[in-house]
Amino acid sequence: MSDAEWAVVRDLLPVPGWLSGRGGRPEGYCHRQMIDALRSLVDDGIKWRAMPADFPPWPRVDAFFARWRDTGLVTELHERLREAVRTGEGRSIEPSAGVVDSQSV
């Protein structure tokens, strides 16, 4: 993840409890490492257990992903990035039309 990409994503991620004074143990892995691992997983189409060794262990990445998914963070990231791409292309944030296609069996 480039520094410019990280600058866009960083502010959307939750602040760990121990940093905001709510107690708890410091997290063992940086959020940027987790995002990089998830992007690699999606980009390469690999299985969780086949994650390269330079990323955190797959159970930790899976736990972060599950927590972020359950709190709606993954959807929020997707929506904000989609809006940024559409705005960058000079288009309206929301699409004006949709296409539904189905394949008959």
pLDDT tens digits along 50-63: 888 888 898 988 98
Question: SS3 breakdown of the chain: % helix, strand, coil, rounded to 5?
Answer: 50, 0, 50
**Calpha distance 69→54 (Å, rounded):** 23
CA distance 1 to 48: 19
Q: Are 55 and 33 in contact (CB under 8 A)?
A: yes
Q: Which whole number is the average pLDDT over 59-78?
A: 88
**Residue where the block lists tokens 């959307």:** 12
Question: pLDDT value at position 30?
Answer: 82
Tens of pLDDT, residue by residue over 4-35, are 888 878 877 777 665 566 666 667 788 888 88
